[in-house]
Amino acid sequence: MVTVLKNWSMVYLFGMPDGSNLQQRWGRVVTGEVVIDGKQQHSPGDRLCSMPISRSPGNLVHTHSGDVYTLFGEGITVELPVTVLPQLQALGSVKELVAAAAQWRE
């Protein structure tokens, strides 16, 4: 089953959970607003953060856990340290995600 996301962000994570090795890319996840959830686990308008991504051909995103997401519309790409992964689901919008990325770089 496919989940459709809008207002999405592709988040590249780097470093280790202890904050070391910040030059190494850890992986990536996608965050976004649910339009339709084929698994019926999320309601339209819910924000979610995927499990780590295994591949993403075109506008499809496949996770290591087997979930598939379709990315609808324009999105953004952000790089963040892996230490912020637990906070990604709490972010309410793409603008907040961009602000978090800018704040981290300062």
Which residues have CB under 8 Å from 5's CB, separation 6+?
A: 30, 32, 33, 34, 35, 48, 69, 70, 71, 72
How much is the pLDDT for 105? Answer: 61
Q: What are phi and psi of 56, to 5 degrees?
A: -150, 75
How much is the pLDDT for 19? Answer: 67
Over the stretch 7-64, which tens digit does the pLDDT of each residue have?
A: 999 999 888 777 677 778 889 999 999 999 988 999 999 999 999 999 999 999 999 9
How much is the pLDDT for 45? Answer: 94
Number of domains comprising the chain = 1
Token pair recorded at residue 92? 């309410």
How much is the pLDDT for 93? Answer: 67
Can you give the residue range of the structural domain that contains 6? Answer: 2-105
How much is the pLDDT for 3? Answer: 97
Calpha distance 7→104 (Å, rounded): 22
